[in-house]
Amino acid sequence: MFEKIIAIILSALSVLFAPFTQTYDAAELKIQLAKGNYESPYIVRPLEDITVGGVSVDEYRIVKADGALFDNAVNALANEIYKATGKKMATSKKDVDKAFVICESLHNTDMFTLKVENGKVYITGSKNIGISRGIAAFADEVLLNAQGSFDFADGYEYTKTFTDFVTYEQFGAVGDGKTDDFAAIVATHEYANENGLRVFANETATYYISGKSKTARIMTDTDWSTARFIIDDTDVENRNSWIFHVAPSQESYPITGQTASSLAMDAANIGTTLAGKSLVVLTDSNVKRYIRKGANQNSGSSQSDVILVNADGNIDASTPLIWDFNAITGATVYPVDTETLTIKGGRFTTLANAAPSEYTYYTRGIQVRRSNTVIDGLYHDIENEGKTGAPYSAFVSLSCCADVTVKNCTFTGHKKYATIGSAGTSVQMGTYDIGAATAVNAKFINCNQTNDITDGDYWGIAGTNYCKNLVYDGCAFSRFDAHQGVLNATVKNSVLGHHGIKIIGSGTALIENTTVMAQDFVDLREDYGSTWNGDLIIRNCKFYPTGVSLHIINANNTENHDFGYTCYLPQRIEIDGLFVYRPGFNYLFNKVNANHKDDSYNAKYPVVPPQEIIVKDFDCVLGGKLFVSQNKAMFKVEITEE
């Protein structure tokens, strides 16, 4: 009772202090997104200023000709300057003395030019290759790599010729937003793959993609630029048919009778050689892990692991085995592409399905199965969500791949729908715009979402399984999540909303320069035993509790359920800078198991408690101290203050 009274009082105080603690404005983010400014909350700007002959762009305007091609180019230029400096350039339809002039080239060539004449910056392109595409290339190759201030003085010229590409229109696409262009898109990529050509979308086109059971395989660089895509899921022939499949150059293959029959966690070699660097997925179907508890309970999954292996069979030190394999019943090799494939731009709108609200997942997006892939500047939103709907596995999904970077992208959280879970009770179905499974070294950099990250009507933006070395950097998302384990998770320079940071796994969880606005700062997922076998490091972070809980880390484990593994609480916890926007009485952990009251408690599946807690800098509203937990029986470790 005392705890509830204190919680109510603190909740009331947190409301009183709210005007002084709000530092993140979700409404402002939505405004910026509407303008096309894909800014992350902690974005690092490379330039202090951009000048023309020593005159700041503050005094310049963007002048354009009439037409959609030029409208897109104006937005693209303004966005790149905004990303580089934080300055918002004004536009003008009339010519002015100090201007960035955007116009069509007089020569019908596949060339983009940017040059300075008489104090003006002239930017030209053609209808074929567009202008926005050239602006993006200029920003990537020149502008964003500059330091301090960038000056166009001394007749600076940038001329880029785009060659060796094909377009959707060459294969019959209309791009009017009504005609079904799906077959043309598929055919274009087939031709591009066969001939090693890039694919360029028309910057002013709107491509309509129907619900037909087709998939476009992407195996070459693709630049969608400012083109729009409408994905119609209202009448789908096959909900498991991806729209795009980013495919590797070599197919996966099983290893039969060649690997070692067993491998220990400390194994350094898999016992066989490979053709080259590869991702290897191992399985032992005799052992079950992640035996889920709760409304979505299940009997677990076969033990599996994903590792990077070189040609000699040596396991990369960054992806060690996390299980002992007493037997290997399956081993699949996914060769790693060494060349980087880049996909840029594209504004996608999904017309949501209205299927019955059941666990019938839709995979109508972009599946990345190729290692060394970069997705840059993609935008995805959702329309037509109604009273019912089946969930989505992801719009961008990474699986069986390594070293994939998703950057400068905007996603959208899906509306929640409920169904009856495996335990016979009502559950809200997980539905995602981002997914990753059996992926290593996956990074999400400077990404955000269109809807309010604190709006609980929308499901958490991402869900991951079996990943290693997963990174968020500069992201504004409703949550970071690892369902069936992650080895090493990094969240830095980010803002996370109503679902916060939900993880289980092992290794090092590093949370740095990050703001969390959720019930808990970290939620160790109860349905998988609230386990983290490793270090938890919190540096220079802020926590805005949205509920009445008194703890920072939420963990619940009744110690009577077999999850398929020993459950650990973080063994070493280091806090070096954490401010909690709630007055006093802060506990690091909740009770975890309220029935575990003394040492005589008989835990069938004991939880291993923390071994070391180091706190260097902790504070909260009106000041306050950090305690470990009210459960002294489970938590015997003391806080070491430095």
pLDDT single digits (tens) 67-99:
889 999 999 999 999 989 989 999 988 889 999
Backbone angles phi, psi at 168, to 5 degrees: -65, -30
Report the candidate in 432, 390, 436 with the shortest Cα–Cα distance to residue 411.
Answer: 432
pLDDT (0 to 100) of residue 115: 93
Query: What would the mean pLDDT of 509-521 be, rounded to a whole number?
Result: 95
Q: Is the pLDDT of residue 318 over 70?
A: yes
Distance CA 355, CA 387 (A): 10
Residue-wise pLDDT for 124-155, tens only, equals 998 889 999 999 999 999 998 888 899 998 77
Mean pLDDT rounded to a whole number for the chain: 91
Q: Which residue has the higher pLDDT, 421 or 403?
A: 403
Least confident stretch, 58-72, 248-262, 359-373: 248-262
Helix%, strand%, coil% for the chain, nearest 5: 15, 40, 45
Bridging pattern class, strands 253-254 and 330-335: antiparallel
Distance CA 356, CA 86 (A): 45
Q: Is the pLDDT of residue 14 over 60?
A: no
Q: Is the pLDDT of residue 239 over 90?
A: yes
Instruction: Using pLDDT thresholds of 50, 70 and 90, give the confidence band for residue 405.
Output: very high
Least confident stretch, 8-12, 103-107, 439-443, 543-547: 8-12
Q: Is the pLDDT of residue 57 over 80?
A: yes
CB 186 within 8 A of CB 166: no
- Cross-strand bridge partners of residue 424: none
Q: Is the pLDDT of residue 64 over 90?
A: no
Alpha-carbon distances, residue 200 vs 222, 227, 462 (angstroms) = 6, 10, 29
pLDDT (0 to 100) of residue 582: 83
CA 524 distance to own-chain centroid:
19
Distance CA 446, CA 453 (A): 15
Distance CA 408, CA 374 (A): 11
pLDDT (0 to 100) of residue 231: 98
Q: Is the pLDDT of residue 102 over 60?
A: yes
Distance CA 581, CA 599 (A): 35
Q: Is the pLDDT of residue 566 over 70?
A: yes
pLDDT (0 to 100) of residue 152: 92
pLDDT (0 to 100) of residue 250: 97
Diameter of the chain measured on Cα atoms: 86
pLDDT (0 to 100) of residue 440: 98
E strand segments, 474-519: 476-481, 486-492, 495-503, 505-512, 515-516
Supply the DSSP string of 191-209, one letter for each residue.
HHHHHT-EEE--TT-EEEE
Q: What single-letter amino acid sits at 558?
A: T
Helix (H) or strand (E) holding 5: helix 2-21
Least confident stretch, 24-28, 48-52, 556-560: 24-28
pLDDT (0 to 100) of residue 7: 43
| Tokens standing for residue 29 | 């983010």
CB atoms within 10 A of CB 192: 25
Query: What would the mean pLDDT of 603-615 be, rounded to a whole number?
Result: 98
pLDDT (0 to 100) of residue 144: 86
pLDDT (0 to 100) of residue 39: 52
Q: Is the pLDDT of residue 289 over 60?
A: yes
Instruction: Classify 472 as helix, strand or coil.
Output: strand
Supply the DSSP string of 431-478, one letter for each residue.
--SEEEEEEEEEEEES-EESS-TT-TTB--SEEEESEEEEEEES-EEE
Q: Is the pLDDT of residue 3 over 50?
A: no
Q: Is the pLDDT of residue 576 over 90?
A: yes
pLDDT (0 to 100) of residue 107: 67
Least confident stretch, 209-218, 578-587, 601-610: 578-587
Bridging pattern class, strands 532-543 and 572-580: parallel
Q: Which residue has the higher pLDDT, 30 or 188?
A: 188
Alpha-carbon distances, residue 72 vs 161, 195, 517 (angstroms) = 20, 30, 35
Instruction: Using pLDDT thresholds of 50, 70 and 90, give the confidence band for residue 258.
Output: low
> How many helices and strands (H and E) does the chain possess?
5, 47
CB 494 within 8 A of CB 476: yes
Instruction: Classify 379 as helix, strand or coil.
Output: strand
Domains and CATH numbers, the chain: 35-161 (3.30.379.10)
Distance CA 478, CA 475 (A): 10
Distance CA 566, CA 529 (A): 9
User: How many Cα atoms are found within 13 Å in the side-chain-facing hemisphere of 512?
Assistant: 11
pLDDT (0 to 100) of residue 35: 47
Bridging pattern class, strands 157-161 and 55-56: unpaired
Least confident stretch, 34-48, 156-170, 360-374, 401-415: 34-48
Say what the pTM is. 0.93
Q: Is the pLDDT of residue 13 over 80?
A: no
Q: Is the pLDDT of residue 104 over 80?
A: yes
Instruction: Using pLDDT thresholds of 50, 70 and 90, give the confidence band for residue 50.
Output: very high
pLDDT (0 to 100) of residue 487: 98
Report the candidate in 279, 259, 278 with the shortest Cα–Cα distance to residue 269.
Answer: 259
pLDDT (0 to 100) of residue 583: 78
Q: Is the pLDDT of residue 479 over 90?
A: yes
Q: Which residue has the higher pLDDT, 5 or 436?
A: 436
Percent of the chain, pLDDT > 70?
A: 93
CB 465 within 8 A of CB 502: no
